[in-house]
Structure 1
Amino acid sequence: MQRDRSAPVTVLHVDDEPELCDLVASFLEREHEWLSVETAPDAESALERIRAGGIDCVVSDYDMPGLDGLDFLRDVRAEHPDLPFILYTGKGSEEIASEAISAGVDDYLQKETHTEQYTVLANQIRNVVERQRAQSAAAAADRSYHNLVDTSPVPILLFDREAVIVYANDAAVEFLDADERKVLDEVRMPDLVDDIHREQALERFETLFETNESVPEVEFRIRTLEDRIKRAVVATAPGTYRGQPVAQVVAKRVEVVEDA
C-alpha cells in the first residue's frame, strides 16, 4: 500500500535558543506544507506537551538547561517508546551519537550554518514518521487478523518463506497435538506432512510463493507432534503477516486415521 507523503506531520522542536527555533520552524513550514512545527525551550515543558498528545515527531537539541537531549530522549522512550525522535545538535560527537543510538534515537543530525541542513532535517522527519506510521499500521493489521482467527474453530497456520510456522491459532495448536502455541515456534511445514505427501506439499508451497496465488485444495496426511496421523483437506492462500509474505494454511474436515 502506498503511503500518503503529504499527510500532515506535527513536529515538536526542543531547543533553548528561541531564535533558532523560530528560524527552523519558519523554513520547514514555508518549504514543506505538510509540516507544522511547535517549539519548547526545555525538556520539562516538552514532556508536558508530548503528554497532551498530537505530536508526530520530536526534534531536540543536546545541550540544554536541566535535562540534556539524551536524558530527555530516555524520558520520552520510557513514556512513548514509538514516538519518532531526532537529535539535532551543535555539539556532536561519536560518543553522543553512540549513546543516542543506544537510547533509541531514530536519527541524528549535526547543526550547520547553511540552509541545506533544513532540507536534510525535513527528509529525516518524513522518513522516521513514515516508518513509524507504517509499523503502527502493520501492528493494527496484525491485531485485526488475530481478533478474526484466534478463536476460529478451524485450524489456521501461517508459514514464512522458509516454511517455518510463524503463527498458529488455538484450533491449530490442538490439531497438531501441541501443549501450547509456543511449542510450534520454529516447526517446519515438511515435518508436519506424512512422507507420502511431503514432496507434493513442498511443490505447492513453492508455487504459492512464486505466483502469489492460492493453490487448489488437497487432502493430506498430517503427522502431529504426538506422532498421530490426521487426514485433512488443506486450503492454502498467500497473505501478509507482520509485513512479510506468508502462506496461510487452513485445515478442514479433519479426521484421525492413526494413533501413536
Structure 2
Amino acid sequence: MKRGIGITYLQTGSETSIALGSSGNIDSELDVEVLHVDDSEDLLRFTKLFLEQNNPSFKITSVRSPEKAFLEIGNKHYDCLVSDYNMPSLDGLELARKIREKYSIPIILYTGQGSEEVAEQAFRAGIDSYIRKEMHPANYHVLGQSIKNVVERHRASLLLAESERRYRKLVEDSPLPMSVTSRDEIVFVNQKRLELTGEKRPEEIVGSSGLESIHPEDRGHVLKRLRSRLNGEEVSSVTSFRLLRSNGPVIYVEDHMSDTIWEGEPAVLHSLVDLTEHVMYEKQLKALHRYGARLQGSAEKDKIAEISLQAIEELMGFSSASFGVVECEELVFTHALGLDPFREVRYSLNGPGISVRAVNTSETQHILDTRLDGDYISYYAEKLERIHLSELDVPVRLDSDVVAVINVEHDEVDAFSSNQIRLLELLAIHVSSAFKRLHEEERRKTYTRKLEALHRCSTRIASATSRAEIYDNALDIMKDDLGYSWVGIGRVEEDCLKYIRSNHGEYNGVSLSLDGPGVTVRAVRTGLTQLVSDTRKEPGYIVIKEGYKLNLSELAVPVMVDGQALLVLNLESERLDDFDEEDVRLMELLSLHIASALRNILALEERALYDRR
C-alpha cells in the first residue's frame, strides 16, 4: 500500500482501487513514484538526477528492459511510467499495450525518434503523453511537468470514479426506493424501487420514460413540474403522485428529487417514500366516520353489531370477525363473519379466552401467534378451513365497564398492522358512543317507567291502615314495581337499627348498633341519603352475616318524620356503581310517601290513645 496524492492506492493483481485521503485534494508535496525504462544507462542516470533535483517529491526507479518494467509494475505501486520508444526486446508502444491489458497507470512515451506517425500510434495505444528527448536541461523540466500533469489527472479520475462508485453503492443499498432519470429516461433503479412496483429485473424499467410508470391522471402535473424545473423556475423538490404496479393496485408515493451527475451526465435522483398505507388509512378513517354516523342511528344492540362487522369487512378486508356482548358473568358472541350459520357462543368471564382477557383487563389484546397463547380457544374451530394464527380483540368500554368485545382473527401469523389496530380501536369508540346513547335512552325509559309505577303504587301506601301494611307495601314496591333485586327495611328502635323486612329472609331480625359502623346506621345518624358506588372502598360497610356474599354497591335512604329517622330503605347490588342519582330520587320520593303515611298512622294511634284515656 502506498500513500499517494490525497488518495490511498491499493494495487492487487490486475485492478487498482483507491480510498479517499483525509482531505481528498491533490497535494504536490506527497511522493510521486516514477518508473523509468530505457536501454541507455547514461540516460537513466541523468534523467533520475535532474528530475529528483528539480522535483523533491519525485522518487525515480530506473530499469533497462521492458520485461523488468512490467515485473516492477506488478510488484509495486507506481504513479507513472516513463518509457523509451526504441528498445531491443519490446518497443515502447508494445510495452504500453501489454501494460494496458492488466494495469491502470499513466504512461509517458519519452523518445528521441519523434514523428507524427509515432505520436498517433502512441495515443492509440493508450499513452497519456508524448515527449521528444532533447539533450538540454530545460527538456527535463518539460518532462517533470508532464509527469505532474498526467499523475494529477489520473488521481483526479480515480477520485471521481471512487466517488461515483460510493454514490452508486449508497443508492443501490438505500432502504428507500430510488431511481435516476436523465432527460426523462430512467437510467438506474435500485432493488427497493423494483420491489415497489413489482418488476424483477432492472431491464424491465431502465430505458423507459419516467412518466410511463406514473398513473395517467397524475402525469400532467408531474410533467408540468418537470418542465418548470428544466426552465430554471423555482419548484419544490417534493411532489406526490401514484405509481402503477406491474401486478397489483396503484401505490401512492412522495418523490424527493435532487440534481446529480450520473455517469458524467446531468441527472435527477428520485428518492421515493411509499405513502400508500398512510393514504389508505386516511380513506379508511373517512369511511369509518360514515359508519360512526350509522352506528349513532342504530336503535338496537343487534344492529350495532351488524354495522360493526360490515365496517370490519369493508374497511380492513377481514372476513373472520365476531361481536360479543357482556351479560352478567359471561361474554356472549351473537354475531360473526365467515360462519354461516352462526350459533351463539358463551364464554365465562372466569375462564380462558383471549376475548375474555380483553374484558377482564379492559385492554386491547394483539396476539401475533395464537399457538403461543395458552388462553386461545375457539368453539367453532371445526368449521374453519385453517386454524386462526393471529387474533385481535378490542374492548368496548362504557365509562369504566367493558360492555362488548370486537374480535378479529386471521389464518396468518402477525396479520394485523398498527393502522388496523388503531382503526379497530376507533371503531370500538364509535360503538361505545352508540351503546352509551342506547344506555341513556334505556335509562330514561326505565326511570320514567319506575316513576310512573311509584305514583301508581303510592296510593297503596297512603291507604295503609297500619305500620305493618306500610312496611309490606313499601317492600313490594321496591322489589316488584321498581325492580330492585336486593331490598330491605330497617326500623329505628331505641339504640339500634333492626331489619324488619327484606327479600332475603336471613336479614330479618338483624340489629345494628347506632353507635357502630354501617352505611344504613350512618343514614340514621345523619338523616341523609347514603350512596356507595364501591363498598370495598367504604370503611363503614359491614357484611351483616358472616359468610354472606359481599354486595359491591349500596343505597340507604332514611325515612324522616318530624326531623327524626324512623326507617331506612336499603338497596344493595352485586355490581359496582349500580345505583345513580335517578335511583336516589326514586327512593327519596318513596321515603316521602312512607313518611306521610307514617304521620297519618301515628296521628291515628295518638287519637286512639287519647280516646282510651
Structure 1 residues 60 and 253 mapped into 2: Cα distance closer, same or farther (>3 Å)? same
Does residue 92 in structure 1 map to residue 114 in structure 2?
yes
Structure 2 matches for 1:65-214, cutoff 5 A?
65-80=88-103, 82-160=104-182, 162-176=183-197, 178-193=199-214, 194-203=218-227, 205-206=229-230
Query: Which stretch has the larger CA shift, 126-135 or 191-200?
Result: 191-200
Q: Which residue of 2 aligns with 1:247?
A: 268
The root-mean-square deviation of aligned C-alpha atoms, in Å, is 3.0
- Residues in 1 aligned to 2:235 and 2:106: alpha-carbon distance in whole angstroms: 38
Shift of 1:103: 1.8
- Residues in 1 aligned to 2:88 and 2:61: alpha-carbon distance in whole angstroms: 19
Structure 1 residues 215 and 195 mapped into 2: Cα distance closer, same or farther (>3 Å)? closer
Letter in 1 for 2:223: E
Letter in 2 for 1:130: E
Which consecutive unaligned segments of at least 5 residues does structure 1 have? none
Contact 2:254 2:273 in 1 (8 A): yes
Q: Which residue of 2 aligns with 1:33?
A: 56
Q: Which residue of 1 aligns with 2:27?
A: 4
How many residue pairs match? The answer is: 252
* Deviation readout 1:89-116 (Å, 9 max, x if unpaired): 1112222222222221111111123332
Percent identity over the alignment is 32
- Residues in 1 aligned to 2:265 and 2:26: alpha-carbon distance in whole angstroms: 17
Contact 1:150 1:170 in 2 (8 A): yes
SS at match of 2:101: helix
- Residues in 2 aligned to 1:184 and 1:107: alpha-carbon distance in whole angstroms: 42
Letter in 2 for 1:152: S
- Residues in 2 aligned to 1:126 and 1:244: alpha-carbon distance in whole angstroms: 28
SS at match of 2:51: helix
- Residues in 1 aligned to 2:87 and 2:116: alpha-carbon distance in whole angstroms: 19
SS at match of 2:89: coil
Determine which structure has greater relative contact order: mean sequence separation of CA pairs < 8 Å that are 6+ residues apart, divided by chain length.
Answer: 1
Q: Which residue of 1 aligns with 2:257?
A: 236
SS at match of 2:77: coil
SS at match of 1:79: coil
- Residues in 1 aligned to 2:207 and 2:220: alpha-carbon distance in whole angstroms: 23
SS at match of 1:10: strand
Contact 1:231 1:255 in 2 (8 A): yes
Contact 1:74 1:103 in 2 (8 A): yes
Query: Which stretch has the larger CA shift, 235-244 or 4-13?
Result: 235-244
- Residues in 2 aligned to 1:124 and 1:192: alpha-carbon distance in whole angstroms: 51
* Deviation readout 1:229-253 (Å, 9 max, x if unpaired): 5431011123444455542211112
SS at match of 1:136: helix
Higher Cα radius of gyration: 2
- Residues in 1 aligned to 2:32 and 2:259: alpha-carbon distance in whole angstroms: 34
Shift of 1:22: 1.6
* Deviation readout 1:55-99 (Å, 9 max, x if unpaired): 11100001111111111111111221x211111111122222222
- Residues in 2 aligned to 1:126 and 1:15: alpha-carbon distance in whole angstroms: 20
Structure 1 residues 191 and 163 mapped into 2: Cα distance closer, same or farther (>3 Å)? same
- Residues in 1 aligned to 2:56 and 2:229: alpha-carbon distance in whole angstroms: 47
- Residues in 2 aligned to 1:241 and 1:5: alpha-carbon distance in whole angstroms: 29
Pick the aligned partner of 1:219 from 240, 253, 267: 240
Q: Which residue of 1 aligns with 2:45?
A: 22
Q: TM-score, normalised by structure 1?
A: 0.82
- Residues in 1 aligned to 2:201 and 2:261: alpha-carbon distance in whole angstroms: 24
Contact 1:86 1:106 in 2 (8 A): yes
Shift of 1:2: 4.5
- Residues in 2 aligned to 1:246 and 1:73: alpha-carbon distance in whole angstroms: 36
Structure 1 residues 214 and 196 mapped into 2: Cα distance closer, same or farther (>3 Å)? closer
Contact 2:251 2:274 in 1 (8 A): no
Structure 1 residues 118 and 151 mapped into 2: Cα distance closer, same or farther (>3 Å)? same
- Residues in 2 aligned to 1:149 and 1:116: alpha-carbon distance in whole angstroms: 50
Does residue 57 in structure 1 map to residue 80 in structure 2?
yes
- Residues in 2 aligned to 1:114 and 1:255: alpha-carbon distance in whole angstroms: 75
